[in-house]
């Protein structure tokens, strides 16, 4: 088996393996490039949340010492994790508190059904809301979802898959250049494509 044939096989099978990633990144980029248009189709329902659950939450929340002060404040990250686990919604999230500590807001990240959980100190109530499913928002989440640093295996595996896809793109580029170089009849037009592509890319980088 020749070196060129090995590269052809790598070029082919890597592409076949990453078909879902290619489709998602391509379609989601198209939606994101025209997001104002798609947002307009949904009107006031764009990004809307629907109430799911409301309950009293009497369990004390973890506190953290305020920087340079003796006063105590809610540890948003620890409190968010505690509440999500008690609600059976453990997973990747973000959390923040209001300046006066009267409200804790938790965003439970999800590709399909993101949730917003709000805890208020005055009445110790928790309100759980779920974002309505909207295709453009779903595709944007797929495109922009991060994984590392959340502390969950599924998120780390997703991030690893994205890293692998990035490597695959570089492999396609390298193997594509080699395969083009080996095709004598296509060298001239290939060189034209490379030159025009580089010039256009440089133009956009400089002008935008």
Distance (Å, whole) CA 25 – CA 139: 8
| 103 close to 120: Cβ distance less than 8 angstroms | yes
pTM of the complete model: 0.81
pLDDT tens digits for the chain (208 residues)? 788 888 888 888 988 999 999 999 999 999 999 999 999 999 999 999 999 999 999 999 998 766 555 457 889 999 999 999 999 999 999 999 988 889 999 999 999 999 999 999 999 999 999 999 999 999 999 998 877 888 888 899 999 999 999 999 999 888 888 888 888 777 888 888 889 999 999 999 999 8
Would you give the end-to-end CA distance of the chain in angstroms? 46
Query: Nearest-CA neighbor of 108 among 134, 135, 126?
Result: 126
């Amino acid at each position: 088996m020749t070196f060129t044939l090995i590269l052809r096989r790598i070029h082919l099978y890597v592409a076949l393996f990453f078909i879902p990633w290619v489709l998602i990144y391509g379609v989601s980029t198209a939606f994101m490039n025209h997001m104002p248009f798609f947002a307009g189709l949904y009107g006031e329902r764009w990004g809307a949340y629907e109430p799911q659950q409301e309950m009293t939450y009497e369990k004390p929340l973890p506190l953290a010492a305020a920087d340079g002060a003796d006063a105590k404040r809610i540890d948003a990250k620890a409190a968010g994790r505690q509440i999500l686990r008690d609600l059976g919604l453990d997973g990747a999230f973000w959390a923040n508190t209001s300046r006066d500590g009267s409200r804790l807001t938790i965003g439970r990240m999800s590709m399909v059904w993101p949730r917003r959980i709000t805890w208020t100190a005055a009445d110790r109530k928790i309100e759980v809301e779920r974002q309505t499913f909207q295709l453009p928002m779903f595709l944007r989440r797929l495109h922009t979802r991060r994984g590392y640093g959340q502390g969950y295996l599924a998120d780390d595996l997703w991030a690893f898959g994205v890293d692998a896809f990035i490597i695959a793109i570089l492999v396609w580029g390298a193997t594509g250049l080699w395969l083009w170089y080996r095709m004598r009849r296509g060298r001239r037009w290939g060189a034209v494509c490379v030159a025009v592509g580089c010039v256009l890319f440089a133009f956009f980088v400089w002008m935008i």
